[in-house]
Chains A and B, each alone.
Chain A
Amino acid sequence: MKDKQKSSFVNRNRKSIVMIVCIIMCLITLSSFMLFGSSNYDGKDDAKAYVLENHNTETGAKNAVTAIYLNYRLWDTIFEAMLLLLSAMAVIYFSWSLDHEE
């Protein structure tokens, strides 16, 4: 009986409990980000400096973003295109199995 009451209380106030928990988690993340996370990597970010300095001579692209996703991280781009193909296959499969149910 008591257990049932408790569960009904939880059920009734489920959304507000979840909201409070989410707000607490959000505040914890925000405070840790404000305290320890640094938003500016001035002078420390070697990859950024390297890419910005060498992308034109190494890849021939004037746009640094293009240089990254078509040269430095080409596999990422190719497999992303493959993932798009895979998701198209999944969509087709699911709508096919909808029509061909016994």
Chain B
Amino acid sequence: MKNNSIIISQVAKILMPFILVFGLYIVIGGADSVGGGFQGGAVLSAIFILRYLISPDRKIKTKILQQTEKILMIGILLLAMYFLGTSMNIGEKLGEIWMIFLNLIIAIKVCCGLSIIFFRYVFYEGRKFMSILSGYALGEITAIIIFFIGVYGIIARRNIVKTVIAFGVMEMGVILFFLSNGEGSLKAPILADTTDIVAVSDPIPQALMITAIVIGVGVTAVALTMFINLYHKFGTTNWEKAREARDKK
């Protein structure tokens, strides 16, 4: 990416050590306080993503990450099977160090996995897989099916909370439809260098769907609050019973 933003790359450079320390803190402190291997690993994988933002031209060696993840996965499985077989409680002997060790292993594994997913999307999937899919308009078909699942939920269910959930499902269908309708890209639009790519995603539905998502959150929040109010008044989650109770009053 030739027109890489200087602001983003410099800020990312400053942030990187802090993220490393924070991720390690979450992992190591997971034995005593909030945190743990999975959460810390997710934070640590942000380092690799930031490294892509700093210098996107340099290809990362995903092979090493993949090997590490596989070996650690097998190692964790073998550890678990070993302790299942021998029924030996090593945790009692080693105490906290054992937990920190396990957390570290899990953190490195999760970090590798998330980074692999990210780099697969950036370097490979965006070019091959999506171009195959876009020929069949699978996104739109899925969106229509999801929308009608929501319609079914609204008509068939008499529970008020389920109606709210069905409304959210319908909303997601509409958003997916617009996003995949404007999709003609072979690469992610935001991080892409658009000079050497002919087909880019349509930015207009993307910008509009940001507002649609926020409005959906607002609608859901208000609907749920109204439901709580109604439940306190009539003591039911059923539309029909709530209407009957209201008519009696």
Contact = CB atoms under 8 A, between A and B. Distances in A.
Nearest to B211: A80
Interface of B: 3, 5, 134, 137, 140-141, 144-145, 148-149, 151-152, 155-156, 180-182, 184, 189-190, 194, 199-200, 202-204, 206-208, 210-211, 214-215, 217-219, 221-222, 225-226, 228-229, 232
Given A51-B204, A52-B203, A87-B218, A30 B151 contact: no
A45 B204 CA distance: 11
A76 B159 CA distance: 34
B219 A47 contact: no
Contacts of B184: 40-42
Contacts of B217: 84, 87
Contact of A33 (B144, B206, B210, B229): B144
29 contacts: A14-B156, A15-B156, A18-B152, A22-B151, A22-B155, A29-B144, A30-B141, A33-B137, A33-B141, A33-B144, A37-B140, A41-B184, A41-B202, A42-B184, A47-B204, A48-B202, A62-B5, A65-B189, A65-B207, A68-B203, A69-B208, A69-B210, A83-B218, A87-B217, A94-B229, A95-B225, A97-B229, A98-B229, A98-B232
B189 A73 contact: no
Given A48-B202, A90-B225, A63 B152 contact: no
Contact of B189 (A23, A33, A34, A64): A64
A12 B200 CA distance: 51
Interface residues of A, number: 46
Contact of B208 (A14, A26, A39, A73): A73
Contact of B222 (A48, A62, A69, A90): A90
B144 A26 contact: yes
A63 B211 contact: no
Interface string A66-99: 0111000100110010011011101100110110
A22 B145 CA distance: 10
Given A48-B202, A76-B211, 8 more contacts: A26-B144, A33-B141, A41-B202, A48-B204, A52-B194, A67-B203, A94-B228, A98-B228
Interface of B is mostly: helix
Contacts of B221: 87-88, 91
Contacts of A10: none
Contacts of B218: 83-84, 86-87
B156 A19 contact: yes
Contacts of B215: 80, 83
A65 B206 contact: yes
A51 to B, nearest CB: 6
Contact of B140 (A21, A33, A73, A83): A33
